[in-house]
């Protein structure tokens, strides 16, 4: 009976250690996910700014197609 109790205590100790390791891994992954979400939001905002700039430029300069023809290098 004493051996069985010792075996159970060892098993529980190993399981607690694994749970702590997994908890640390999950925490690190959430930090990475949070960072990636912030980078995605930043990139999306930048893309929206660029799209707005292009739309504003197109509206300021007239038709976009006409500007593209003027902006093309002579070898086209």
Q: Return the minimum-mean-pLDDT range out of 8-17, 50-59, 63-72.
A: 63-72
Q: What is the pLDDT of residues 20-60, one digit of tens each?
A: 999 999 999 999 999 999 999 999 999 999 999 998 888 88
* pLDDT score of 68 more than 90: no
Q: Return the minimum-mean-pLDDT range out of 8-12, 43-47, 62-66.
A: 62-66
The CA–CA distances, whole Å, from 7 to 2, 10, 16 equal: 9, 5, 14
Check residue 14 and give its pLDDT. 98
pLDDT band per the 50, 70, 90 thresholds, residue 75: confident
């Amino acid at each position: 009976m004493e051996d069985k109790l010792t075996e159970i205590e060892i098993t529980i100790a190993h399981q607690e250690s694994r749970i702590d390791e997994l908890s640390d891994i999950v925490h690190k992954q959430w930090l990475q996910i949070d960072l990636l979400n912030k980078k995605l939001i930043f990139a999306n905002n930048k893309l929206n700014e660029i799209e707005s700039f292009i739309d504003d430029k197109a509206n300021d300069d007239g038709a976009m197609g006409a500007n593209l023809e003027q902006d093309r290098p002579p070898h086209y």
